[in-house]
């Protein structure tokens, strides 16, 4: 049985080109700064994002945590959207390890409202913690891969600068955001002080995320990475795949986006199944199965038995993610199988 894996773009496998480059990569001990492949990836990532410096980090979760630690001091408060990945899905690392308090705000489709941020920024008062950071997420995972519009990011940036509060972007899928918004990633990155982005999602690298920002910030981040046990030695093995991810794989994401639209449109033709097409902007789709009358765990199990892997979001929604391992033919076939399951 062919397995069609829509659980996440994290399931993508390294490409042939990546595997070949990994075998031949010049290596060294990166804790000494000696791995030339890591150095090349970090220089490339910084220039692609239009920032001074970059750091290779094992995962997106560790990258976001290191960013929060590097921007803040323990006891501060940070502003986050209430369904952001950092708040919901990162094991409360910001509280336990970074020692900051989360101040969550409800966004519009994942986008923080400027007026709400302004109201949430702490004033000087003996009772209050200091606001140490504003975090955004683009594309927004829980929102169904929606993009945060550039005007919104610019407005938040201006507020942050006016109030002297740094801005971090969880740009795990910033390349998807750039394709969906029709801009270069730099146009998004310029509205924040730091960006974490993943090489190991739609870009197909087996391991790795990058943190980019000003040089002094990245040097601080390098030390926190060591503290967390993320100082890697011959990491050029990973970095070699990361270079291919940036140079080649970032150019094919539009295919995942058109497969997502096809999937959403076809699923919408099944009775009891609903997708809000306005939210289908990149490679993630939230699909509402509530009116089929079948429970989400039952649907997920039935799909698995038929070779379709998905993750339930909540009691109504199943998330589908398109990526390099899913073809247009898979999308068409999967929808017909799901149509039978929902009958
Ligand atoms: N997201 C994963 C799971 O953790 C849910 C997924 O399958 O979507 N930021 C965002 C917006 C993410 O979606 C993720 C991963 C991360 C950060 C963390 O990246 P990793 O998995 O590398 O720690």
pLDDT tens for 20-64 read 999 999 999 999 999 999 999 999 999 999 999 999 999 999 999
* Structure tokens given for 38: 């890591």
The alpha carbon of residue 75 and the mean position of all alpha carbons in its chain are separated, in whole angstroms, by 26
Tokens 């094991």 correspond to what residue? 91
The protein residue whose alpha carbon is closest to atom 3 in ligand 1 is: 89
The protein residue whose alpha carbon is closest to atom 16 in ligand 1 is: 60
Convert the pLDDT of each residue in 263-322 to its tens digit: 999 999 999 999 999 999 999 999 999 999 999 999 999 999 999 999 999 999 999 999
**Burial class of residue 188 in the structure, from the number of CB atoms within 10 Å of its CB (0-12 exposed, 13-18 middle, 19+ buried):** buried
How many structural domains are present in the chain? 2
pLDDT category of residue 93 using cuts at 50, 70 and 90: very high
Task: Give buried/exposed letters for 40-63 (b at 16+ CB in 10 A, else e).
Answer: bbbebbbebbebebbbbbbbbbbb
Ligand 1 atom nearest to 311, measured from its CA: 7
Measured in Å, residue 8 CA sits from the centre of ligand 1 at 9
Tell me which of 199, 232, 250 is where a domain ends. 250
Residues 167 and 179 in one domain: yes
Q: What is the mean pLDDT of residues 185-192?
A: 98
CB atoms within 10 A of CB 119: 9
Predicted model pTM: 0.98
The residues, any chain, with a CB within 8 Å of residue 95's CB and separated by 6 or more, are 101, 102
Task: Give the span between the Cα atoms of 5 and 325, in whole angstroms.
Answer: 8
Residue 1, domain member (yes or no): no
Look at residue 1 and tell me whether its pLDDT is greater than 90: no
Mutate to test the pocket of ligand 1, among 6, 60, 197 (most ligand atoms within 8 A of CB): 60
Measured in Å, residue 157 CA sits from the centre of ligand 1 at 24
Tell me which of 192, 224, 250 is where a domain ends. 250
Ligand 1 atom nearest to 10, measured from its CA: 7
Ligand 1 atom nearest to 9, measured from its CA: 7
Residues 188 and 269 in one domain: no
* Structure tokens given for 333: 């076939």
In degrees, rounded to 5, the angle at the alpha carbon of residue 76 between the alpha carbons of residues 154 and 139 is 35
**Residue 318: DSSP 8-state:** E
Residues 212 and 275 in one domain: no
Q: Are 211 and 168 in contact (CB under 8 A)?
A: no
């Amino acid at each position: 049985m062919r397995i069609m894996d829509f659980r996440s773009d994290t399931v993508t496998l390294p490409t042939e080109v990546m595997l070949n480059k990994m075998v031949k990569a010049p290596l060294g001990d990166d804790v000494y700064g000696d791995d030339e492949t890591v150095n090349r990836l970090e220089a490339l990532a910084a220039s692609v994002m239009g920032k001074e410096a970059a750091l290779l980090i094992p995962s997106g979760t560790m990258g976001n945590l290191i960013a929060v630690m590097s921007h803040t001091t323990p006891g501060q408060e940070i502003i986050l959207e209430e369904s952001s990945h950092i708040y919901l899905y990162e094991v409360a690392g910001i509280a336990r390890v970074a020692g900051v308090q989360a101040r969550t705000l409800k966004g519009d489709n994942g986008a923080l409202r400027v007026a709400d941020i302004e109201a949430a920024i702490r004033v000087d008062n003996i009772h209050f913690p200091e606001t140490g950071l504003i975090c955004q997420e683009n594309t927004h995972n829980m929102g169904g891969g929606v993009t945060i519009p550039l005007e919104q990011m610019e407005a938040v940036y201006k507020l942050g600068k006016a109030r002297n509060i740094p801005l971090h972007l969880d740009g795990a899928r910033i390349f998807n955001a750039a394709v969906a918004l029709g801009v270069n990633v730099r146009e998004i990155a310029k509205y924040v002080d730091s960006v974490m982005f993943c090489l190991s999602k739609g870009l197909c690298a087996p391991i790795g995320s990058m943190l980019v920002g000003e040089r002094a910030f990245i040097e601080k981040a390098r030390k926190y990475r060591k503290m967390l046990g993320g100082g890697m030695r011959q990491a050029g093995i990973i970095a070699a795949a990361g270079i291919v991810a940036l140079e080649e794989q970032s150019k094919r994401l539009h295919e995942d986006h058109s497969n997502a639209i096809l999937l959403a449109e076809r699923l919408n033709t099944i009775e009891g199944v609903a997708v809000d097409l306005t939210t289908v902007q990149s490679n993630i789709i939230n699909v509402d199965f509530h009116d089929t009358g079948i429970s989400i765990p039952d649907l997920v199990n039935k799909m698995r038995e038929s070779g379709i892997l998905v993750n339930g979001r909540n009691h109504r929604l199943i998330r589908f993610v398109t990526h390099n391992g899913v073809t247009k033919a898979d999308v068409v076939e999967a929808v017909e199988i799901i149509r039978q399951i929902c009958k």
